[in-house]
């Protein structure tokens, strides 16, 4: 089976662009599985976040999937086009990655001379 992932790409300050990727998949694989295959086999620069091994950081793969906020690890790949975009109302870092910690909880870099 073949799926097409249409991924919104970009960084802050530049116009977002859509890139499409075609991949083979087995029934039951998740969108996150597909993104990991894409990054490994087609475009290592593709940015998305996940932390499935760490229960305290779960929910990091949340993104817009076909216009709905959902977890990439729970939505299944399907034949045809699936549109992926970063979370709305969150500061964009790059591609599908947005800021997750509130500004007052982020660590600040301190320069050392």
Q: How many residues does the chain have?
A: 113
Residue 83 lies in domain: 2-101
Q: Is the dihedral of CA 78, 83, 86, 88 positive or negative?
A: negative
Comparing 93 with 56, the larger pLDDT belongs to 93
CATH (domain of 34): 3.10.20.30
pLDDT band at 18 (very low <50, low <70, confident <90, very high): very high
Q: Which of 45, 105, 92 is nearest to 64 (CA)?
A: 92
Residue 111 lies in a domain: no
Q: Does residue 99 surpass a pLDDT of 60? A: yes
Q: Does residue 103 surpass a pLDDT of 80? A: no
Per-residue pLDDT reduced to its tens digit, 29-87: 999 999 999 999 999 999 999 887 666 667 789 999 999 999 999 999 999 999 999 99
Q: Which two tokens stand for residue 109?
A: 């870099």
**Other beta carbons less than 10 A from residue 22's beta carbon:** 11
Residue with tokens 């301190």: 110
Res 17: pLDDT:
97
């Amino acid at each position: 089976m073949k799926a097409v992932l249409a991924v919104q790409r970009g960084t802050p300050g530049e116009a977002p662009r859509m890139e499409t990727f075609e991949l083979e998949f087995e029934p039951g694989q998740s969108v996150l599985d597909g993104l990991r295959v894409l990054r490994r086999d087609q475009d290592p620069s593709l940015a998305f976040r996940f932390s499935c091994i760490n229960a305290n950081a779960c929910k990091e793969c949340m993104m817009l999937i076909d216009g709905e906020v959902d977890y990439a690890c729970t939505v299944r790949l399907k034949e045809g086009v699936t549109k992926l975009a970063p979370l709305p109302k969150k500061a964009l870092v790059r591609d599908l990655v947005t800021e997750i910690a509130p500004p007052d909880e982020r660590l600040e870099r301190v320069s050392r001379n």
